[in-house]
Structure 1
Amino acid sequence: MRDYAAVLTARPDDIRSALLGRRVDFSRIFSGHIVAERATARAVLPPELARRAEHEMLALFRDYSAHIRAWTPARIEAEWPAYVTAVRALQMRLRGRFDWAERELFPRLYPLTAAA
């Protein structure tokens, strides 16, 4: 996300080459993260909290997928400022999810470290 944010700030001359590969990479990483988080949540959270966490993550992924479909390369180039705003909004949601994992998952995974 930091790398992508840096590209957004720089507004490259060749938007397609600067962003498209990164979008594919992020999608792959995000998909893998969802699987790992789901397994971890099911292992350490109470069942209802794990289900809620899974639904929230899947909603975020659906919104991300809709974002990718809506923001075609041509549209990104034509509407750069709006694209940057849309990406930053999604990144804020993802950062919120990271904060949630820090609060809810990691202390349960590493209880001795969290207590220190």
Structure 2
Amino acid sequence: MPIIKILPHPEYCPQGAEVTAPSGTSICEALLDNDIPIEHACDQVCACTTCHVIVRAGQRSLSEMEEGEEDMLDRAWGLEPDSRLSCQAILANQDVTIEIPKYSINHAKEKH
């Protein structure tokens, strides 16, 4: 099973983390299954950008980006060339390293 290395994020995993997930799982599902509460306001249907991540290593190991994800990413805060929506980035067999941006455009974030 591939390992997802999550770089430190002040709210979701201050020390960083490493989780494993079966191939065919989205990064978002893997994080949620391992108690890393990444935002996912649209319930993982590629209708928002709150689950935006930046893939720092292992980009080739993820599913190809489809047009809908590409269009939606244009709205993400802190967009970078290796940005993905974690609900659309499906794991293959190799490890990946991701960074969760410090901010999102979710104006209705719970607990705030």
TM-score category by the smaller chain? under 0.3
Return the structure number with greater helix share.
1
Structure number with the bigger relative contact order (C-alpha 8 A, sep ≥ 6) is: 2
Q: Larger Rg: 1 or 2?
A: 1
Normalising by the residue count of structure 2, what TM-score does the alignment of the two structures yield?
0.28
TM-score where L is the length of structure 1: 0.27
Q: Which has the higher strand share?
A: 2
